[in-house]
Structure 1
Amino acid sequence: MAALVFAVSACGSLDERRDDVTGQVTVFEQALGGEQFARMCAALAPETLEELEQSAKSGCEQAIGEADLTEAGAVRRVDVYGDQARVVLDKDTVFLSHFPTGWKVTAAGCTPREGRPYQCELKGG
């Protein structure tokens, strides 16, 4: 009986994590559509934020406004593996990591490449 309870709670936990990931990507995409760059910056993982600012040699809001990111459309698939997640949308793939403060975007504007890692417009170091 204990194994059954554990299995049921683990499934619920995964569903909750998927919902949290989907919610965070939705917030990020809505902020992108509304050109709310401060909200987009707040959704970024620390290393991604740092990489963006260093490569653009400007603050996050200006840098993310100049990034080649477009609205990605509807969520098609959400994969959660421990503290990492991948969200496949109509026109983008977004990667996230879980931090004590919640899920944060580690990469966006990502395009799959046959047999190679994704090519991402926005990514951490």
Structure 2
Amino acid sequence: MVRTRAGEALVTGLAVALLGAGCASSELPDVERVAALFADPDGDPADRCDLLAPATETALQLAEGVPCPDALPGLPIGAGAVRSVAVWDREAQVLLTDDTFFLTRTQQGWRITSAACTAHPDRPYVCELEGR
């Protein structure tokens, strides 16, 4: 068997990808929990705001001119059930029956970076709530 650097790199890359997939799959319950709590329209607005990434909360308050708990109820955030969760290292996407959320892992845990997102063919998602 001839071993090449490219072959070794491929094997190493596959091993890293498999290890990453294992780590990502262990994050799925936490990501799903945060998304479900944020999607709960009956949840306390202040608690839901605590689930936002800092830049997202700041962007919302600047755009609406009111504190997050006052602005959040007026946004078209879906309240449907979680259909799927995908995690890539420190980023995640949650598809609900009626919305798409994007999350990032922070020192405080998983936080929502974008919500009220709609997919568009040949373009990125357009989100009503997002941090910059």
Under a length normalisation based on structure 1, what TM-score does the superposition of the two structures give? 0.85
- Quick one: structure 1 residues 117 and 8, their matched pair in 2 at CA, closer, same or farther if it must change by over 3 Å? closer
Higher mean C-alpha displacement, 17-26 vs 61-70? 61-70
Q: Is the 8 A contact 1:43 1:105 kept in 2?
A: yes
Structure 2: tracts of 5 or more residues without a match = 1-11
Segments of 4+ moved more than 4 angstroms: 6-12
Shift of 1:102: 0.2
The question of whether the paired residues in 2 share the 8 Å contact of 1:35 and 1:65 is answered with no
Alpha-carbon deviation of 1:18?
1.1
| Separation in structure 2 between the aligned mates of residue 29 and residue 92 of structure 1, nearest angstrom | 9
For the pair shown, the structure with the greater C-alpha radius of gyration is 2
Of 36, 39, 46, which residue of structure 2 is paired with 1:29?
A: 39
> What fraction of aligned residue pairs are identical, expressed as a percent?
34
Q: 2:57 aligns with which of 25, 49, 57?
A: 49
Instruction: Please identify, of 53-62 and 14-23, the stretch whose mean Cα deviation from structure 2 is larger.
Output: 14-23
**May I ask how many residue pairs the two structures share in their alignment?**
118
Q: 1:67 aligns to what?
A: 75
What TM-score results when the alignment is normalised by the length of structure 2? 0.81
**Is this contact kept in 2: 1:97–1:104, CA < 8 A?**
yes
Aligned counterpart for 1:112 among listed residues 82, 98, 119: 119
1:80 matches 2:90: no
